[in-house]
Amino acid sequence: MKALLRIFRPSRKLVFIIAGVALLGGVSGGAALFIGKDRILGLSAETMNGLSCTDVNLVTIKKQNRVWIRKYIKTEPTDGMTRVKTALRVAKAVYDAQKPDLVQVVVLDTNGPTLRSDIRGRAIGADVVYIPHPDAVLESAQAKAYTARYYDGSAAANGLFFGERVDLPEDEITALNASFNEYSDCIDPIAVAATKGGEGKSKGEKAEEAKEEKPAEGGGHGATPAEQPAAEEAAPAAGH
């Protein structure tokens, strides 16, 4: 009997190996609970689709029966490829909502300039142009549906980006678009503020405001004409 026990008694080395495997399994399980399975298995959904963003400015240009939209947005500090992902996602979301002939999305840093005259050069962390039907707009057989570029460095305190400029090839842009599982637009701070401002008003106050905003019947002389796009506004260029 003692001889049999000596035969089946595990060695000290084998015991250490079994204990190590059990410990590693426990640590991995704890890490999965703490970090989340999306971080263990791959990128989070937000990283896959770019970052959340905020609207800065929107320019709509109507010329020769065509509509061009140039959208300026800002994100939290991130890498250049994530800025491009964000811009591609937003460009597709804008097109799906408004169906323009051309969409340009310019990504700025949170500390970057907000005046259009200052948004140029290294203030632009990423720039994407989406033309769903490039042949009709650019009148060229070599026209591309997408162009995308970014600075691969981070932004300084003044919102200007460092690093080399990278122009993405078309096949890489196509692969990025195929990786998205949703196309969402940025947050409009003006709309959010307006929603929050109207939540605390009573029904009587809202009715009074609606009565005041109702235009006078008859001649309609108090109505203001719709804002026309500036005649000197040029078409959005494919790059800056």
Q: Residue 137 corresponds to which amino acid?
A: V
Instruction: Say if 205 falls within a structural domain.
Output: no
Question: Is residue 128 in a domain?
Answer: yes
Q: What is the dihedral of CA 73, 76, 81, 84, to 10 degrees?
A: -10
- Give pLDDT tens digits for 36-86: 434 434 445 556 788 899 999 999 999 888 999 999 999 999 999 999 999
Q: List the domain range (segments joined by +) for residue 164.
A: 52-194
207 in a domain, yes or no?
Answer: no
Give domain status of residue 133, yes or no: yes
| Pair 153, 166: CB distance under 8 Å | no
Is residue 38 one of the residues assigned to a domain?
A: no
| Among 185, 154, 198, 240, CA closest to 58 | 185
Residue 137: CB partners within 8 Å, gap ≥ 6? 66, 101, 102, 131, 143
Instruction: State the pTM of this model.
Output: 0.64
- DSSP readout, 156-179? -TTS-B-S-EEEPPHHHHHHHHHH
Residues in Cβ contact with 181 at an 8 Å cutoff, skipping those fewer than 6 apart: 45, 48, 49
Q: Express as a percent the part of the chain with pLDDT over 70.
A: 59
Among 84, 89, 90, smallest CA distance to 152 is for: 84
Residue 236, pLDDT above cutoff 90:
no
Nearest to 73 by CA among 65, 61, 84, 62: 84
- Our count of domains for the chain comes to 1
pLDDT of the residue at 20: 56
CATH code of the domain containing 162: 3.10.310.90
- Is the distance from CB of 233 to CB of 58 less than 8 angstroms? no
The closest alpha carbon to 90, from 107, 77, 68, 111, belongs to 107
64 is a domain residue: yes
Q: Output the six-digit token pair for 40.
A: 């263990």
233 in a domain, yes or no?
no
| pLDDT tens-digit readout, 134-145 | 877 766 656 789
Once rounded to an integer, what is the mean pLDDT over residues 160-177?
A: 94
User: Residue 182 domain-assigned?
Assistant: yes
